[in-house]
């Protein structure tokens, strides 16, 4: 894909994610179900944090494209490295995890992850923007250009560290409010919850590996932007 086309695509994707993140964080306070938006507001939900992550990633990608267009190659090289690290370690695995885990649990029992009370607060289009469109965007990014993945150990350590931070945030919210971020967590005993978190980490690691596999299958080992 031509650099100018990439720049247009990344700019549009950045604007889209910024708009979606803005929309969900500006849901009218008086309309929010009190049992859902307690301590931490929307910032306790992985879905909302992922929207911010995607906006940052596409913003960095657009900056890299602009620097390449204006021939600032030395600066572009550094930004491209940041872009690839963001995509490989976080943007692809997290967006894939959000989409697949949400719709799997939603199909099983929506009250565990997305109570029906939210239907009157969050429009259907916004629900799909947060939970469905993130996966096609991630796959399109892999098709659009190659990304350099870090050494496997480094990538998994960074991904594990971010997962640890989010789990710590979830546990902190529970310790303060006595309420779980997702009703699903209330079904588990402490050992069961630890096993659930470990299983979720294993799944997101598998998505990291899947992204690396797709990148290698499409672009090979040697072709990098």
The predicted-structure confidence for 192-221, as pLDDT tens digits, reads as follows 999 999 999 999 999 999 999 999 999 986
Establish if 225 belongs to a structural domain.
no
189: in domain: yes
| Short-list 96, 193, 101, 208, CA closest to 158 | 208
The 3-class secondary structure across 103-126, one letter per residue, is HHHHHHHHHHCCCHHHHHCCCHHH
Q: How many CB atoms lie within 10 A of CB 119?
A: 12
Which letter does DSSP use for residue 34 in this model?
Answer: T
Domain of residue 131: give its range: 5-24+41-219
pLDDT over threshold 50, residue 222:
no
Q: CB of 65 within 8 A of CB of 3?
A: yes
Candidate from 38-42, 78-82, 144-148, 152-156 with smallest mean pLDDT: 38-42
C-alpha span between 135 and 40 (Å, rounded):
26
pLDDT digits (tens, 9 = 90+) for 27-44: 764 555 545 555 677 888
Report the mean per-residue pLDDT for the chain: 90
Determine the pLDDT at residue 178: 87
Task: Tell me the mean pLDDT in the region 9-32.
Answer: 84
Predicted pLDDT of residue 221: 67
Report d(CA 215, CA 88) in Å as an integer: 9
Q: Has residue 30 been placed in a domain?
A: no
Domain count, the chain: 1
**Kind and range of the H or E run holding 129:** helix 124-131
């Amino acid at each position: 894909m031509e650099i100018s086309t990439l720049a247009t695509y990344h700019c549009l994707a950045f604007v889209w994610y910024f708009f979606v993140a803005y929309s969900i964080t500006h849901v009218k306070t008086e309309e929010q179900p009190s049992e859902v938006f307690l301590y931490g507001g929307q910032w306790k939900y992985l879905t909302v944090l992922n929207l911010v992550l995607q906006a940052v990633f596409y913003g960095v990608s657009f900056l890299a494209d602009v620097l390449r267009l204006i021939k600032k190659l030395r600066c572009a090289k550094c930004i491209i490295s940041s872009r690839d690290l963001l995509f490989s370690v976080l943007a692809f695995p997290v967006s894939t995890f959000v989409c697949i885990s949400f719709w799997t649990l939603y199909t099983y029992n929506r009250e565990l992850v997305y109570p029906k009370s939210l239907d009157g607060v969050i429009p259907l289009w916004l629900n799909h923007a947060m939970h469905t469109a993130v996966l096609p965007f991630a796959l399109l990014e892999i098709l659009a250009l190659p990304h350099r993945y870090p050494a496997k150990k480094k990538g998994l350590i960074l991904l594990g560290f971010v997962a640890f931070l989010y789990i710590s945030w979830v546990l902190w919210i529970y310790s303060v409010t006595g309420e779980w971020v997702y009703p699903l967590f209330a079904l588990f005993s402490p050992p069961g919850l630890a096993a659930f978190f470990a299983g979720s980490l294993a799944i997101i690691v598998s998505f990291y590996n899947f992204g690396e596999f797709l990148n290698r299958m499409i672009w090979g080992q040697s072709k990098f932007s």
